[in-house]
Structure 1
Amino acid sequence: MKKRIFFDKYEEMRFISHLDMLRFVDRLLKKAHIPMKYTQGFHPRPRISLGNPISLGTEAFNELMDIELLEPMTNEEVLEKINSAAVPGFRVNKVETVEDKISIADIYTNALFQIEGSKEDIDILENLFNQNEIIERKEKKGKMSERNLGERVKDFSRFQNTINLELVNTSPNSFLILAGVDIKNVHIIKKGYKI
Structure 2
Amino acid sequence: MKKRVYFDKCGEMKFISHLDLLRFFERLFTKSEIPVKYSEGFHPRPKMSFGNPISLGTEAYNEVMDFETDEEISNEEVVKRLNENAVLGFKVHKVEEVPRKSSIMEEFRNVIYEINGESCDIDKIEELFNQPEIIQVKEKRGKVTKRDLKARLKHYERKGDTLIMEIENMSPNSYLDIAGVEVYNVTIKRLGYNK
Instruction: Specify the TM-score bucket, using the shorter chain as the normaliser.
Output: over 0.9
- Tell me the distance in 2 between the aligned counterparts of 1:36 and 1:72: 11
Seq. identity, %: 54
- Partner in structure 1 of residue 86 of structure 2: 86
- Tell me the distance in 2 between the aligned counterparts of 1:191 and 1:105: 17
- Partner in structure 1 of residue 188 of structure 2: 188
- Deviation of 1:46 after TM superposition, in Å, equals 0.6
How big is the alpha-carbon RMSD for the aligned residues of Structure 1 and Structure 2?
0.8
Preserved contact between residue 28 and residue 86 of structure 2 (Cα < 8 Å): no
Count of residue correspondences: 195
Matching residue's letter, 1:47: K
- Partner in structure 2 of residue 7 of structure 1: 7
- Deviation of 1:55 after TM superposition, in Å, equals 0.7
Matching residue's letter, 1:51: G
- Tell me the distance in 2 between the aligned counterparts of 1:86 and 1:147: 41
Q: What TM-score comes out, normalization by structure 2 length? A: 0.98
- Partner in structure 2 of residue 148 of structure 1: 148
3-state DSSP of counterpart to 1:131: coil
Deviation by residue 1:158-193 (Cα, 9 ceiling, x = unmatched): 110000100000110111111111111110011111
Deviation by residue 1:34-83 (Cα, 9 ceiling, x = unmatched): 01100001000111111111111111100000011121111001000100
- Tell me the distance in 2 between the aligned counterparts of 1:22 and 1:70: 20
- Tell me the distance in 2 between the aligned counterparts of 1:108 and 1:188: 19
Matching residue's letter, 1:77: E
- Deviation of 1:128 after TM superposition, in Å, equals 0.6
Deviation by residue 1:10-54 (Cα, 9 ceiling, x = unmatched): 011111111111011000110111011000010001111111111
- Deviation of 1:86 after TM superposition, in Å, equals 3.4
- Partner in structure 1 of residue 135 of structure 2: 135
- Tell me the distance in 2 between the aligned counterparts of 1:72 and 1:185: 47
Moved >6 Å (runs of 4+):
none
Q: What TM-score comes out, normalization by structure 1 length? A: 0.98
- Deviation of 1:105 after TM superposition, in Å, equals 0.6
Which residues of 2 match residues 1-195 of structure 1 at below 5 A?
A: 1-195=1-195
Gapped runs of 5+ residues in structure 2?
none
- Tell me the distance in 2 between the aligned counterparts of 1:72 and 1:173: 41
